[in-house]
Every structure is written in structure tokens, then in C-alpha cells.
Amino acid sequence: MREDPQTSGLVEVLKKLLKARGATYRDLARALELSEPSVKRLFSERTFTLQRLEQVCAFLEVDFFEVAKLARGATAGSDQMTIAQETALAADPKLLGMFYLCYNDWQLADMLEGYHLTRPEALKLLLKLDKVGLIELQPGDAVRLKVPKTVRLRHDGPIRKAHGKSVVTSFILADFVEAGGLFRFEFRELSRASFELLQRRLNRVAAEFNELAELDSYLPSDQRTTIGMALGIRPWTMSWVTGLKSRKEKPAPA
């Protein structure tokens, strides 16, 4: 597990949660079936494995995603970028790509190794992101994200307007089987209650997706792969398939 400011913040949050619950290192050691010195060493040297982090969170009865949000200060942040920030990203695909890497916890060395970027090119983009307030470029060229991991694009914002349709179209038209993925498309008649139940379940799947991404963000970048997941459910008229016209359909506007 790589050492960085995010890891340090995570450990500090775990310490505070232990104290808040009135638990000691001895209590945690007993739960993890470790010696007390071993637990103290985990915290002092920050040598947690992902499995250990999950075990500590289970002991504290707290969700890892919530711990990570606290470590990043996400509870105090907005869940949307400003219009100016989205506009800057929408206007420059390379800048948008660089922000995506920062959002996924890539550091400069990872970027230079993984992409055809020179150091001056990468720093120029990072400085632009710093200028618009999306990241902080720290001494030693360390990157700290300044927006919470809960940030979401505006539905009618500049990024969706500029790239939304092309991205979704490209994603849907790709060969899912060849990429080792999964694609399911189902349509049946449902009651309103069943429709709303499925919406809630899809929201939970999306939350789990982000929780797993947050957990995996502490792995080196070469152990992670960009995964796309599209979730959508809505009333859908299939008259274009059957050639039939439903009496329930509203006439198209003139």
C-alpha cells in the first residue's frame, strides 16, 4: 500500500473513530486476533492491507466509504463543481482526462509512466487544474484533490452537454463480451411499486460501485483498470419494435 497524504488522513480518521467509540488498541487487537504491539505498528507505520482496513472498519461498525470521505474532508465540500470548473474541463479534453486521473488518485509519476505525456505537459495541465481549484499541486509535485469523491456532474452542465451523448453512445455500442464485460437489456411490464423498488436497488449498486472504487484507490495505479457502468431504468415505449401504436401514447408535438 503506497504512502501518501490520503493514507495518512485515513489512519488519522480511524484513530479518531477508535477514541470516539471508547475503544483501545488492545480491544482492536483482540478483535483482529493480533498482539497489541502489532496493531500499534499498523497505525504508526501505516502498513494496512485492504483486508485489514475492512476488518478495522467492521470492528468500528462504520462503512469504509464514509471513513474515506471523512479522510478527504468530503463532508464539508459541495457535491458539484462550479460552472466555471466544468466549463474549463469541457473545453479541453486533455484537461478533463487529467482531472479524471487526479480524481482516481493518480500521482504525477503514475501519469508519466502510464500515458504519453512529458513532465512539462503534465505539469502544465496540473497547474491549470490547480488554478481552477480542482486540485492542489503540493511541494514535490504531489497532487491533492480539492473536490470530494462524492462530486457529480451537473445534469445540464457543460461537461454533459459537450461529451455526454458521445460517451454514452460509445459505451453502449462497444462489444461488451470481447471486453470481458456484461450487458443486460430487459423490458417487462411492472407496477409503480416494483419500478420504484428497482430504482432504489440501482442506487445501492451505484453506491457500492463507488465504495469499491474508493477502497481500490489505495492500490497502485497499475493494479486498477477503468471500469464503466451504466445504470438506467425508465418507462419505455417499444412501439418502434412491434409496429403497434399504443392508445396510451401521447401524440408527438407538431
Angle 36-45/5-20 helices, nearest 10 degrees?
140
* CA neighbor of 85 nearest in space, from 150, 156, 153: 153
Residue 133: what residue type? G
Find the range with the poorest average confidence among 66-75, 95-104, 139-148.
66-75
Instruction: Specify whether domain 83-145 bears CATH 1.10.10.
Output: yes
Cell of 61: 461498525
Q: With left for phi above 0 and alpha for psi between -120 and 50, is residue 27 left, alpha or beta? A: alpha
Averaged pLDDT score across all residues of the chain: 86
> What span, in angstroms and rounded, lies between the C-alpha atoms of 234 and 193?
13
Q: What is the DSSP letter of 135?
A: E
Percent of the chain with pLDDT over 70: 87
On the question of pLDDT at 8 being above 80, the answer is no
> What span, in angstroms and rounded, lies between the C-alpha atoms of 37 and 163?
52
CB atoms within 10 A of CB 78: 12
* Local confidence band at 250 (pLDDT 50, 70, 90 cut-offs): low
What's the confidence (pLDDT) of residue 98? 96
Place of cell 451504466: 230
Instruction: Specify whether domain 5-71 bears CATH 1.25.40.10.
Output: no
* Local confidence band at 75 (pLDDT 50, 70, 90 cut-offs): very low
Task: Specify the 3-state DSSP secondary structure of 107.
Answer: coil
This prediction's pTM: 0.63
> What span, in angstroms and rounded, lies between the C-alpha atoms of 105 and 221?
8
pLDDT digits 0-9 by tens, 112-154? 999 999 999 999 999 999 999 999 999 999 998 888 877 888 8
Q: What is the DSSP letter of 154?
A: -
On the question of pLDDT at 72 being above 70, the answer is no
* Local confidence band at 63 (pLDDT 50, 70, 90 cut-offs): confident
On the question of pLDDT at 185 being above 50, the answer is yes
Between strands 135-138 and 142-145, the pairing is antiparallel
